[in-house]
């Protein structure tokens, strides 16, 4: 009996020893891997698809070919979305009133599908979409307005970093490019939707376009061209004033003297110059008025 007990004890010790030595050595301490999980829940495209009041804008998204991008669970966006009423006003406007505001929704949808080129639709949607998931309050109320790049690159062949920008602000309410925000911070899995009262549109043209075509600014145009010619070969080559005014990314405010202002200024200046050269005042005034009467004075 004793020997059996000894055998048992020995066997138990053997088993214990075997268990001891076969228990594994530990690997180096590991750390939890920070999560970089894809977005979950209804994504932007889906939220808009399921929203009756956003059906027309969603139709525009589908037409633009961006629906799948907006439903990416790896990318995060903030969208400025005009509701159906705003979309109707937008279509009414761009159709020149051919699509009346009280037309059935199907007519608006049909217009979007057939009358708005796909590229244009994409530009519209991209301009109304900015990267990242931004609660509207975070745009801030600073002045001038926060300039936030959109997805729309007007000249990708020049640089992948070119972007048209929006100008959201929370100063005296919520605004984007001076368009009121009607509903802010609608949540989606991969971003936010801020409904706007009207289609947010980018500036339609460069400042130079305005200066170049406005009959009241012909003196300013001539002055700029003259100025550029002094330091350059002229035209809109890099470094000229024209180039700055045609910079798609620039955000300028130009104090533009009208032609009359230029004429007054020039007449006075030329008169002073002629008088200083000994020309009688009356003669000088006549000559000055003649010279200043045309932008060719530059």
Binding site for other proteins (CB under 8 A): 20-34, 36, 72, 74-77, 129, 131-132, 146-149, 151, 159-163, 165, 191, 249-251
CA atoms within 13 Å, Cβ hemisphere of 295: 18
Min dist CB 33 to other proteins, Å, is 6
140/180 with CB nearer other proteins: 140
DSSP state of 38: P
Min dist CB 228 to other proteins, Å, is 20
Residue 177, Ramachandran bin (φ over 0: left; ψ between -120 and 50: alpha; else beta): left
Backbone angles phi, psi at 275, to 5 degrees: -60, -40
CA distance 72 to 241: 42
Min dist CB 22 to other proteins, Å, is 6
Min dist CB 197 to other proteins, Å, is 24
Pairing of strands 191-196, 179-188: antiparallel
**Cα-based angle 281, 283, 289 (whole degrees, multiple of 5):** 100
90/146 with CB nearer other proteins: 146
92/166 with CB nearer other proteins: 166
Q: 265 is written with which tokens?
A: 């200024």
Min dist CB 165 to other proteins, Å, is 5
CA distance 261 to 295: 12
User: Cis before residue 144, ω within 30 degrees of 0?
Assistant: yes
Min dist CB 41 to other proteins, Å, is 15
Q: Please tell me whether residue 207 adopts helix, strand or coil conformation.
A: helix
153/263 with CB nearer other proteins: 153
149/257 with CB nearer other proteins: 149
241/266 with CB nearer other proteins: 241
């Amino acid at each position: 009996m004793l020997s059996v007990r000894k055998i048992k004890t020995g066997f138990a010790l053997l088993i214990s020893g075997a268990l001891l030595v076969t228990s594994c050595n530990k690997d180096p301490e590991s750390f939890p891997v920070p999560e970089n999980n894809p977005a979950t829940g209804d994504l932007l495209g889906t939220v808009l698809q399921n929203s009756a009041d956003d059906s027309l804008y969603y139709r525009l998204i589908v037409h633009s070919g961006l629906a799948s991008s907006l439903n990416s669970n790896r990318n995060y966006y903030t969208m400025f979305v005009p509701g159906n009423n705003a979309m109707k006003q937008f279509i009414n406007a761009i159709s020149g009133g051919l699509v009346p505001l009280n037309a059935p929704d199907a007519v608006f949808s049909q217009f979007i599908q057939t009358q708005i080129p796909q590229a244009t639709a994409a530009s519209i949607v991209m301009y109304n979409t900015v990267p990242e998931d931004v609660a509207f309050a975070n745009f801030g109320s600073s002045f001038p307005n926060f300039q936030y790049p959109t997805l729309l690159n007007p000249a990708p062949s020049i640089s992948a970093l070119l972007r048209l920008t929006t100008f959201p602000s929370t100063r005296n309410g919520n605004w984007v490019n001076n368009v009121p925000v009607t509903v802010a911070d609608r949540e989606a899995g991969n971003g936010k939707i801020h409904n706007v009262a009207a289609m947010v549109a980018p500036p339609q043209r460069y400042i130079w376009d305005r200066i170049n075509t406005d009959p009241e600014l012909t003196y300013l145009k001539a002055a700029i061209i003259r100025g550029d010619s002094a330091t350059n070969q002229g035209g809109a080559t890099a470094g000229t004033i024209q180039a700055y005014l045609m910079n798609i990314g620039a955000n300028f405010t130009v104090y533009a003297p009208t032609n009359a202002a230029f004429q007054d200024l020039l007449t006075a200046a030329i008169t002073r110059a002629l008088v200083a050269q000994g020309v009688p005042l009356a003669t000088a005034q006549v000559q000055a008025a003649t010279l200043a009467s045309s932008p060719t004075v530059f």
